[in-house]
Structure 1
C-alpha cells in the first residue's frame, strides 16, 4: 500500500515510467533485423566465397542499370537465389540503405520479390528511353561523314528500348545519303545487323583513308607548281633611276623668304623632317651661329644647305608654293642675287624650264 501511494515519486516508479516512454518513441530497428525469411538467412555461403565489388546505388540514377550490373557480377560467382538476396543489401547506400532497413521482417523470400520492391520504390529515377521507331528518323546530314553518322547511330541504338536487329537493317540503309556505300548496300543486302555494322565500319575507314590520301596528293601537286626562284636578269638600274634626285645647288628654286621663315611655316604644317643625327662640326665653324634645323651651332639656319634641299623637295611635291620666286618678283631679291643676275651667273631660263620638265642631262 505504501508503494501504491507514492504517486510516481519513488525510484522504481520513475524507472518504469522511463522504460514505458522509450517503448512508445519511434526508435530505429535492431541492426540485426532483416526483411528476409528464415530460409533465406539459413542458406550457407559457398566455401571460399568473396563478394565482388559493386558500385553502391544512391537512388539518383536509373535503378535498372544498377540491377543489371549486380546480376552480371553475381552471375560469375555462381551463387543461388538466397545469396543473391543477402548480397544485394551490401550494394545500397544513403537513402537506399534507409529504404532497405524499413522493409517488413520476413517479407522477402526470393530475389524476384526483392527486385520488384526495389524497382517500385525507385521508379521515379528511371530514365525514359527512346522508342525503337525513333531510329527511322535518324538521317545522315549532308555535311556528315560516314564515320560521324555511324558513331551517332550506334549511340542512339544503345539507348532505345526493344531494339530489333532485323528491322534496324532497312532503317540504317534508308537513312544513308546517296553515294557509293548506299548503292552497295542496295545491291548487296546484308543478312544480319552484325554484318551491316562491320561493312559500314570498313567503308568508313576507307573513306577516311581516301580523304587523307587525296589531301596528301593535292599538297604534293601544289608543291610541284610552286614558282621556283629565278635569277634576276633585268638590266642594272641606271643612276637616273636611283630614287628622287635633288637638283644641284646652283639650280635650286629661288625663294621669296629666308629659309628660317619657311622652316617655321613648314614646322607648323607638320611637313618638315628634322635630321636625327647632328652634323660633324668643322674646326673652322663659327660657334656664334646656330642652326635651328640641325639644333646645333656652327652655321646659320638661312645658310643650311641640307634645309635648302628639303625645302626644294617640298616645293617639288607641291608644298610651300607661296615662297617660290616668280618672274617679276624683286622684293625678296638681295644684292647678291642682283649681282648674279647682272653677271649672268644665275640659272638661265632654259635650265630652269628643263628642270621643271625633268629634261636635265647628267652634266646639267
Structure 2
C-alpha cells in the first residue's frame, strides 16, 4: 500500500512539472507573438501598407501555439507524444501556397506512364509526362501537383527533400529535375555517326534503311541534306544505288518512296528464291525416297527347250557352224579385249 501511494505521488509530481513547463513555454510564445505583432504594426504605420506575414510565421507559429494550448488543457500522455512525433516526421512538399490546393480537372485519370527512377533520359520523361497531362489540362499548378506521381525510388526521395516553398512554377521544377539527373542523359550523337554507316554484305535494304533512320532520329538539329547525302554513300552497289546515280533524289521523302519500291522487289525476289530452293529440296527428297521404294528386278527365268523333240545332227557341230558362217546365217562374234593382267604366254 505504501509503495502504491508513493508511485501515485511521484506520478502527480511529474505531471505537475510537465504542466508548469508547458505553461512557461506558452507564456514565452505569447510574449513572442505580441512582440512580432507590435513590430508588424509599426512597419504598417511607417510604409502605409500591411505586409504579408512570412511563410514560417503563417504556418509554424499558429500551429505551435494551438498545440501548446491544447497540451496545457490536456496533460500529455504516451498516445499524444507519438502523435506529435508522427506530425514532425511528415514530409512537406516544396511548392508555394496554392499549388497543392488546386483541384484536379473533372474526369482525371491516373497517368499511364513508366515512373522515372533516374536511370533514363530526364528530357524524355518530361516530354512523355507533358504529353499525358496535356490530354486533360495545361494548368501550371496541376503540372506541379501531379508531377511527383510520375517518380519512384531515388527520384521520389530527392523530390521530398527539396526545400519548402522553393518551387513556384513548373519551369522551376523541371529546371531542378533536369539538373539533378543530367548525368542520365544519353550521349549526344552528331552527323559524324552517319559517315561510318555502311550497308553490310547480305544486309537487306529494308534493314539498312531502318537502322540508318533510327540513328538519324537520335541526332538533334540534323540537316536533311546531310541525311540524304550520307544514306546514298552508305548503300552497297545494286539496283537501288544505280537508280539513284541515274536520277538522284531531291528530298528525303522521295528517297524513302523509291526505296520502298526496291524493298518490295528485293523481298519478292528473296521469296521466290526461297520457294525455288524448297521445291528443289523437296524434289531431291522425293527422288531419294522413290529410289528406295523402287521394286527390284524380277529374277531371270531358267532357259528351257522350246520343243520337246529336235532332228538329230548327222554332221559334226564344227562343220555345221562353219557352213552357217559362210552362208551369213550367223554373224562372227567380236573378239573380246584381253585383260591387262592376263597371261598371254
With structure 2 as the length reference, what TM-score do the two structures score?
A: 0.54
Report what 1:113 is aligned to: 172
Report what 1:140 is aligned to: 199
Distance in 1 (alpha carbons) for counterparts of 2:301 and 2:19? 125
Q: How many residues align?
A: 225
CA RMSD of aligned residues (A): 3.9
Query: Secondary structure of 2:134's partner?
Result: helix
Report what 1:193 is aligned to: 252
Give how far 1:235 is off: 9.5
Give how far 1:36 is off: 1.4
- Mapped contact 1:52–1:73 kept (Cα < 8 A): yes
Distance in 1 (alpha carbons) for counterparts of 2:21 and 2:184? 47
Give how far 1:106 is off: 1.6
Give how far 1:78 is off: 2.9
- Mapped contact 1:29–1:101 kept (Cα < 8 A): no
Question: Higher helix fraction: Structure 1 or Structure 2?
Answer: 2
Query: Which of 262, 278, 299 is equivalent to 1:203?
Result: 262
Report what 2:338 is aligned to: none
Query: Which of 43, 57, 67 is equivalent to 2:116?
Result: 57
Distance in 2 (alpha carbons) for counterparts of 1:231 and 1:30? 94
| Distance change (3 Å), C-alpha of 1:78 and 1:206 | farther
| Distance change (3 Å), C-alpha of 1:13 and 1:152 | same
Give how far 1:28 is off: 9.1
Give how far 1:10 is off: 5.2
Report what 1:80 is aligned to: 139
Counterpart check, 1:123 vs 2:186: no
| Distance change (3 Å), C-alpha of 1:140 and 1:97 | same
Distance in 2 (alpha carbons) for counterparts of 1:214 and 1:122? 52
Report what 1:184 is aligned to: 243
Distance in 1 (alpha carbons) for counterparts of 2:187 and 2:20? 56
Gaps of 5+ in 2: 1-12, 26-80, 304-341
Query: Which of 162, 165, 169 is equivalent to 2:224?
Result: 165
With structure 1 as the length reference, what TM-score do the two structures score?
A: 0.52
Counterpart check, 1:175 vs 2:243: no
Distance in 2 (alpha carbons) for counterparts of 1:135 and 1:28? 58
